[in-house]
A and B are shown apart, each in its own frame.
Chain A
Amino acid sequence: MNEVMIIVRKELREMFRDKRVRFNAFVMPLFLILMMVQLFGFVMKAAVGGTKSTVYFVDSTGGVGESLNKSAISGAVTKGGLGIKTVSSIDEGIKLIQQEKAKLVLALMPPTTDGQVRVEAYYDPKQQMGNLALSGVEQALAKANKEALVETLKEKSIPESAAERIKIIPKEVKVGQAGAGAMIVSLLPYMIVLFAFSGGMSMAADLVSGEKDKNTLETLLITPVERTHIVLGKFLSLAGVCFLSSVSCLAGMALASAIKLPGSELMFKDGFGVTPIAALTIIIVLLPLVAFFASVLIAISSYAKNPREAQTYLAIVNFIVIMPAVFSQVIGLTDLGTKLWINCVPVLNTANNIRAALLGKTDWLAVGITVGVSALLAAIAIIVAVKLFNREEVLVRV
């Protein structure tokens, strides 16, 4: 076993001296997480009205519009956190929307015979900002309408509850431990799983096919070390880098939370949210997954004739790995995440358990199944890698 550790030490030393490895495995996940936190933070802020949209207003009453209505509407809109500007006609407002200079144009129409104030809202339904602005205006006006109704009821001595015969009172139920925010729950499992594979990709091709290409493999095979030990040494060093690359994502998220990155306030409004139990769960489900990925990477590198061929195969396999990881981002929109069988789906099972852990809902049976499935796959993949490495073709295939 000592021979395995000699190889692990040498491989790690070489890897850490390689700029590509340092960048791809460690800097890249940190950088990406920080960038995504900022980006998603900005989007979240915009979605909840943090970014002030401007609404264009036009008086189309033909002179019969009451200034009271105008000011009531503009008051409600500005109270809802939206800016307001005026335009002279509906046509001009539509033109602004077509030129993408305006998201929403409100046109005050003549009142109906029963005195209802009508406002036409012009927007491009394909424009998300237009939809958001409309929804903001609707909320603001609904609030204003309700206040007006309550006022009227009060004048007529009717109880306020008559304005809302059935009232919904939301009550949050705490399930599991305190967890991370929704955006972290959606983003982090995907990133962790992704970097468990791609973090090791940059040096995987070098480990076997690269040694063959650089004429160092023959020297290594001529030592008295068993080939199986050589593969295990390379596998362990690669698994270590894959694991550290994944953990870099977690570290990046913790860093983003600690330095209070601008725009990330909503994402971290309840703090980082990764509890010790969640961190432990992540590590437990991640270890067999990186073992599986590392052995797949070594098997590919052993099979390929040269690093270029290895890179081609790796790009294809990377795509296959990304698919279930991507699905983990939207699994919360279905109830699949709670099904036990989902823990038998490779890669997705790990992402789903990380997601559950971040929500504070670690299910140890699910964790056990996931670990078992990943460990089984890792064992199969390492056997394949050893067999491929033991072939003569590992040296003589050109």
Chain B
Amino acid sequence: MMVRTHGLKKHFQDPKTGLKKAVDGIDIEAKPGRIFGLLGANGAGKTTILRMLSTVITPTSGTSEVAGFDIIKQPQEVRANIGFMSSSTALYGRLTSREVLEYFGRLYGLDEKRLKDRMKYVIDKLQIEEFADRLCDKLSTGQKQRVSIARTILHDPKVLFFDEPTAGLDVVTSQTVMEFIEEARDLGKTVVFSTHIMSEVERLCDDLAVIHDGVIVATGTPQTMREISGEQNLERAFLHLVKFQAGYVSARLGTV
């Protein structure tokens, strides 16, 4: 198992609303060569889980192993073995694409020869060469996303985390990202992917956890979700699982 969590919790103290249980004891397992989806509405706790798994924030309690390393005891080893990307991940505007890749390659400890080889590989693979020496500020959204993907896989990580990687992207760029995620799975990488877009779940996810208010309400394959909820449409299955009540919003607005 490449990613396994044990009762992972993250509670924040909100000055206005008091204690906020962003993640409240989740247990998930993600395997190599498969895409694990975290499906949930905005604010469900998906980003917090991925941030804990990538050791950027520390769990309130519980722990997890990522690529065989404990996220609390061996955070550096965890980070050396993961790649992380989200739609909001940005690049340094005053550096060229090539300089960004070199910078991160060195931070990931690649020696000069390996750095050169890996840079050639990702630049060719993602067709970056024509704009590799252009400042990132001058790149289109699609080009920036390709450079972001290149940065994510440059050090050839075993585990890849994607936090809503297509949010706000156009159809063509989203397609590039999804193709890349599928390719990573085919290469035997472990992919953990958060989204709230059902079509992406249908297309990409082998395994799934539905998250609502920081807790997992269901796990399994997309087909399992349909069976548990008794709904054939995945979107309806999701709404059933999170106990969404039709007319709730209109009722609150006083129009029903």
Contact = CB atoms under 8 A, between A and B. Distances in A.
Interface of A: 3, 6-7, 10, 13-14, 17-18, 214-216, 218-226, 392, 395-396
Contacts of B90: 214-216, 219
A10 B95 contact: yes
Interface stretch (B54-62, B174-182, B187-195): B54-62
The 5 closest A-B pairs by CB, nearest first: A224-B80, A215-B90, A223-B107, A17-B94, A224-B79
Contacts of B84: 218-219, 222
A224 B109 contact: yes
Contact of A13 (B76, B99, B108): B99
Interface residues of B, number: 31
B88 A215 contact: yes
Given A14-B95, A215-B90, A222 B54 contact: yes
Contacts of A224: 76-77, 79-80, 107-109
Interface string B67-104: 00000000011011010101011111111000100011
Contacts of B151: 219
B56 A215 contact: no
Interface-centre pick from A220, A221, A395 (highest chain B CB count, 10 A): A221
A200 B87 CA distance: 32
Contacts, number: 67
B106 interface: yes
Given A18-B94, A224-B76, A224-B109, 15 more contacts: A3-B107, A6-B103, A6-B107, A10-B99, A10-B103, A13-B95, A14-B92, A14-B94, A215-B89, A218-B51, A219-B151, A220-B107, A222-B56, A222-B82, A223-B107
26 contacts: A3-B107, A6-B103, A6-B107, A7-B107, A13-B94, A13-B95, A14-B92, A14-B94, A14-B95, A215-B88, A215-B89, A216-B90, A216-B91, A218-B56, A219-B84, A219-B89, A219-B104, A222-B54, A222-B55, A222-B84, A223-B108, A224-B77, A224-B107, A224-B108, A392-B56, A396-B12
A7 B106 CA distance: 10
A392 B82 CA distance: 19
Given A14-B94, A224-B79, A392-B57, A218 B107 contact: no
A6 B102 CA distance: 10
A396 B82 CA distance: 20
Nearest to B81: A224
A221 B104 CA distance: 11
A396 B91 CA distance: 19
Contact of B56 (A7, A13, A395): A395
A222 B90 CA distance: 13
B86 to A, nearest CB: 8
Nearest to B79: A224
Nearest to A10: B103
A136 B127 CA distance: 79
Nearest to A9: B103
A365 B151 CA distance: 52
A396 B57 contact: yes
A354 to B, nearest CB: 34
Contacts of A218: 51, 56, 84, 86, 89
